[in-house]
Structure 1
Amino acid sequence: MTALSTEVPALKVERLRLARFTTLGVGGTSEVWTVHNHAQLAEAMRAPYRVLGGGSNLVVADEGVPERVIRLSGEFAQTDLTRDHALSGEEYVTGWVGGGVPLPGLLRKLQKLGLSNLEGTVGIPAQVGGAVWMNAGTRFGEMFDGLHTLEIVTPQGVRVVSPAELQWGYRQSGIPRGHIVTRVRLKLAPSTPQAVQDVMDQADMARKGQPKMRTPGCAFKNPGGIGAGKLIDDAGLKGYRVGNAMISHEHANFIVNLGGARAEDVQAILDHVRRTLNTPLELEYELWP
């Protein structure tokens, strides 16, 4: 039997169109660094950079970005859900889960194992690192519900922190911009596959009214407990269109790509919504640059 190779893949640097990596399908060509371990990541961080996860909640400029764009792979895309008995009490604490792991696939594994705390994030097309960085979630739960430990790479080095050390809250983690969530340990509650699936089904049902077209997700954070989508809908803006970007007829807090939309179209819609509502709504999106 041939032994499996443990050789680390080489650092890969390519010029790629970022639209292929975003859920909106918008974004120009940039220099993409695919890193597989901490040494390669440190090299990539020696010049100005941005970090690309699953490409949701992201609108990339039509001309791309001047910085390096870092994508996590290799050891940062591995999942160890083995129980760490040294850290576990009644809760189930896992081994390390990489920041480049797709969240939907991770949730499927947790459901099959009957492990609870993150099922409320079902339907979010993110990678773990990006989802943690913005504390992604739904009304059924958010990422910090299931975190025990975070490994964060900063320009100064590697930090391992607990959620209690961060000023996290609604759709924000307290992690500074430019810091990269490379791995996390999950803090889960033992449950059953059916009980976890039941919550996932509830969350899925709640998303039935969301558009199925290409979209970055919700455009604006809910201001003061009021639904941003309701405010936009009440202003009569469903179906408002600039170029090939449009406010969804299904849910007014979603902008969709009708095919060939540009970042400048999306920005024009965001500006129009704020002018119409006469309020500085805070974006859910990250805008590059």
Structure 2
Amino acid sequence: MTALPGTVSRTGARVERLPLARFTTLGVGGEAEVWFVGHAEQLAEALEAPYRILGGGSNLVIADEGVPERVLRLTGPLAVADLTPDPALSDAETVVTGWVGGGVPLPGLIRKLQKLGLSNLEGTVGIPAQVGGAVWMNAGTRFGEMFDGLHTLEIVTPEGRRQVTPAQLSWGYRQSGIPRGHVVSRVRLKLRRAAPEAVLAKMDFADVARKGQPKMKTPGCAFKNPGGVSAGRLIDEAGLKGTRVGNAMIAPEHANFIVNLGGASSADVHALLRLIRERVGVPLELEYELWPGQD
């Protein structure tokens, strides 16, 4: 028997019907049944019906009518990071950590790693994601990506859980090779020992390079760079910077970002995405994930 919104499931997961806009960096999205799961039993129960996993809410545009599936949020033990070095796998240069939950916010994790003098993931500084989602899409910047610092991934499906290594996945630019419908519940990190001030210097360098990005509500970059060419430059050359549909706008600071001016709808954002594709002379692949599906 499934849990009703506003109740607790048989394994203790909290279930509520909520607007998804509150969980996204863009700030748009209709309602859905949200499950807050904190351990393996709750996650297994939540996966018994059609579901979606929602982490930090970046890189995501959700329809104004919401989605029909239950939406999972990782909390409790699945949002905790054990950064203790594993003595069997760590040495004077390398640290393999304990398990880091998929619900751990990435920005806070990067700051903790810096203070501990642990390097490999500072290139992801500033990405407003949770660990599970960042791993699933191999989030990153031109300074680094999530797979730079992964040792082991725990992946959960309705059929059970398994552990894999990066070498077992066909990962690459902005993709992990993990099939859709699989949840990254936890990971172990593989990091290099470094002076905390050296890690901080790399973070500052990467952060300065991001200063030109918009500060308003945004999912992040809209399109992947085609063939190594900057998607933002192509959109800018098409004369689209500052173009507005409703309360959504192509950011004047960086043309590969769409921002919410306040009260934007998902329909506004989709209209801008279609306009960009019509006006730019090369095919563009979305970096955003669209719920409930692609246009």
Q: What TM-score range do you get, normalising by the shorter chain?
A: over 0.9
Structure 1 residues 181-200: Cα deviation after superposition (integer angstroms, max 9, x where no partner): 00000000000110000000
Q: 2:37 aligns with which of 32, 35, 38?
A: 35
What is residue 3 of structure 1 aligned with on the other side?
none
Task: Report SS of the residue matched to 1:272.
Answer: helix
- Partner residue in 2 for 1:12: 14
| Partner of residue 283, structure 1 | 286
Equivalent position amino acid for 1:262 in 2: S
Are 1:164 and 2:167 matched, yes or no?
yes
Query: Which amino acid in 2 is paired with 1:95?
Result: G
How do residues 55-66 of structure 1 correspond to structure 2 at under 5 angstroms?
Answer: 55-66=57-68
User: Which range moves more in the overlay, 212-221 or 84-93?
Assistant: 84-93
Letter of the 2:153 counterpart:
L
Residue 154 (structure 1) shift? 1.5
TM-score by length of 1: 0.96
Q: Secondary structure at the match of 1:175?
A: coil
Query: How far did 1:261 drift?
Result: 0.2
CA distance in 2, matches of 1:279, 1:29: 35
Distance in 1, matches of 2:202 and 2:265, equals 36
Once the two structures are superposed, what CA deviation does each residue of 1:263-283 show, in whole Å capped at 9, x if it has no partner?
A: 010000000100111433111
* Structural mapping, 1:249-268, within 5 Å: 249-268=252-271
The CA deviation at 1:156 is: 1.4
Which amino acid in 2 is paired with 1:106? L
| Correspondence for 1:194 | 197
Partners in 1 of 2:48 and 2:267 — Cα distance?
A: 30
In structure 1, what is the Cα distance between the partners aligned to 2:179 and 2:197? 38
**1:83 aligned partner, one-letter code:** P
Pairwise CA RMSD of aligned residues? Answer: 0.9
For residues 213 and 277 of structure 1, the distance between their equivalents in structure 2, rounded to whole angstroms, comes to 24
Supply the distance in 2 between the matched residues of 1:231 and 1:278 (Cα, whole angstroms). 8
| Aligned partner (choices 73, 76, 80) of residue 74 of structure 1 | 76
1:82-127 CA-partner distances (Å, limit 9, x unpaired) = 0001122441000000000000000110000010000000000000
Identity %: 76
Q: Match for residue 128 of structure 2?
A: 125
* SS of residue matched to 2:186: strand
1:272 aligns with 2:275: yes
Task: Say if 2:186 is the partner of 1:144.
Answer: no
- Residue 55 of structure 2 aligns with which residue? 53
CA distance in 2, matches of 1:87, 1:155: 31
Which residue type is aligned with residue 98 of structure 2?
G
Do residues 233 (structure 1) and 236 (structure 2) align? yes
Task: Give the length in aligned residue pairs.
Answer: 281
Tell me the distance in 2 between the aligned counterparts of 1:280 and 1:18: 30
Measure how far apart 1:75 and its partner are.
1.3
TM-score by length of 2: 0.94
Q: What residue in structure 1 maps to residue 215 of structure 2?
A: 212
Q: Which runs of 5+ in 2 are unaligned?
A: 1-10
Large movers: runs of 4+ above 4 Å: none
